[in-house]
């Protein structure tokens, strides 16, 4: 491997960019061995132990260029009775705790990105429930101009993207500023890599600051209600 083809990630790990695949397109293909579902023995040898042991045998004993490809374990089994998916005995990935808990941090990054979108959906619904059309308009347009992503929304709503936001009619402002998401239709949930079964069904929005004026029950807007809903975590 060339120096620019390996991205060090600590003392025991590294990332390899996909460009390596293209730069070696003229190299003859090797053999692909799949270790599929098996019943573990009483000592626990399963797919991971067999995969790693096979790679060690082909590389160290038979002298063949060998790569073992296994996925990062989920933290559910790691903290349960099963253990991680790092193999066992002499046929295991080391350091095991690095492999089981963090690896290169990609799982954490995916989790954060997913939950960021979940939080954005929740916040959007809260602001739409707690503010009138004019207030939403002012928050979205501190300057009298459409951003690039706003112009894409304009096209969907048949609003001239080359115009100014201030040119919109009151009805167009309402169309643009409100998504009117029905909470019962949301399928995007927060995620967690640990199998914490108690988070599969939760109620959010119970904080003292998570209240909005109930304009349907009280047109004057004096009555406040909790802005909560049932949701959950996907594991």
The DSSP code sequence of 137-149 is HHHH-SSSS--HH
Q: Which residues neighbour 217 within 8 Å (Cβ) at sequence distance 6 or greater?
A: 223, 225
Q: Say what the pLDDT of residue 37 is.
A: 75
pLDDT of residue 48: 85
Instruction: Specify the length of the chain in residues.
Output: 235
Q: What are phi and psi of 161, to 5 degrees?
A: -70, -15
Q: Domain segments of the chain: what residues?
A: 3-101, 106-234
Predicted pLDDT at 207: 93
Task: Give me the pLDDT at residue 152, please.
Answer: 95
**Each residue's pLDDT expressed in tens, for the chain with a length of 235 residues:** 788 889 998 888 999 999 898 888 899 999 999 988 777 677 667 888 889 999 999 999 999 999 999 888 777 655 555 666 788 888 888 888 888 888 888 889 999 999 999 999 999 999 998 888 999 999 999 999 999 999 999 999 999 999 999 999 999 999 999 999 999 999 999 999 887 889 999 999 999 999 988 766 666 666 889 999 999 999 8
Report the candidate in 130, 126, 136 with the shortest Cα–Cα distance to residue 215. Answer: 130
**List of residues 6+ apart from 144 with CB closer than 8 A:** 164, 165, 166
**CA angle (87, 93, 94) in 5-degree steps:** 130
CA distance 114 to 90: 37
């Amino acid at each position: 491997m060339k120096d620019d083809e390996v991205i060090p990630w600590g003392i025991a790990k590294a990332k390899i960019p996909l460009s390596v695949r293209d730069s070696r397109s003229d190299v003859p293909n090797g053999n692909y061995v799949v270790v599929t579902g098996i019943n573990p023995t009483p000592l626990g040898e399963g797919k991971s132990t067999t995969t790693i042991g096979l790679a060690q045998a082909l590389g160290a004993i038979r002298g063949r260029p060998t790569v073992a490809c296994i996925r990062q374990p989920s933290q559910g089994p790691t903290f349960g009775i099963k253990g991680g998916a790092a193999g066992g005995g002499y046929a295991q990935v080391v350091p095991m705790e690095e492999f089981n808990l963090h690896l290169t941090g990609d799982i954490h990054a995916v989790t954060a990105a997913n939950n960021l979108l979940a939080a954005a959906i929740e916040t959007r619904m809260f602001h739409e429930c707690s503010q009138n059309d004019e207030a939403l308009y002012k928050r979205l347009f501190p300057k009298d101009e459409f951003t690039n992503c706003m112009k894409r929304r304009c096209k969907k709503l048949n609003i001239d993207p080359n115009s100014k936001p201030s040119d919109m009619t009151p009805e167009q402002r309402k169309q643009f500023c409100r998504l009117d998401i029905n909470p019962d239709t949301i399928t995007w949930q927060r995620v967690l890599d640990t199998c914490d079964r108690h988070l599969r069904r939760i109620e959010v929005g119970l904080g003292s600051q998570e209240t909005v004026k109930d304009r349907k029950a009280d047109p004057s807007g004096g009555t406040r209600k909790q802005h909560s809903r049932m949701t959950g975590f996907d594991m």
